[in-house]
Amino acid sequence: MKKITLFYDEMDSPIGTLLLLSDGEAIVRIEYGRLADLEEKLTTWAKRFIGEPYFVHQPELIASAKEELEAYFKHQKQTFSIPFKFYGTSFQQKVWQALYDCIEYKETKTYKEIAEIIGNPKAVRAVGGAVNKNPFSIVVPCHRVIGANGKLVGYNGGLDKKEFLLKHEATD
């Protein structure tokens, strides 16, 4: 298996520690938590999609992403321009791209609407599964996807974080 270096840094945020990973060219994941707690999960993911990972703490490679996230939490930024790459199945990538492209700041969409956007209206459950595996918390706005009844449902980081992010955006 090909060996790869993943560079990382951690940052404090109003919703807890965020872990940012880069392949040296682009951000490849933003996760809730610390590398020490997520290393096994991230190793499994990396082996599946890109290779055997070696994690290196390299804050300078992550600095611009951290700055954009900090600006978001200070209500100074509503969209992100950091370079990122999706690593996942082709279906997951299609869903994640739709989230990024089609849900504006302060807007929400249902899982059904996302399924329709990607041209697969019967794939509501599969869309939910892909949304749950979104590798770019906050930047790819899976927190803006809600249930058909308008309720907050499912969020990989926890519903408390989803609720915080939606309220945070609503106060701009």
Q: Which residues are known to be catalytic?
A: 142
3-state secondary structure of 84: strand
Six-digit token pair at 23? 């392949």
**CA distances (Å), 97 to each of 43, 85, 128, 130, 167, in order?**
23, 10, 14, 11, 23
**For residues 146 and 143, what is the distance between their CA atoms, to the nearest angstrom?**
8
Tokens for 43? Answer: 């190793």
Helix (H, G, I), strand (E, B) or coil at 31: strand
Phi, psi torsion values for 62, nearest 5 degrees? -105, -5
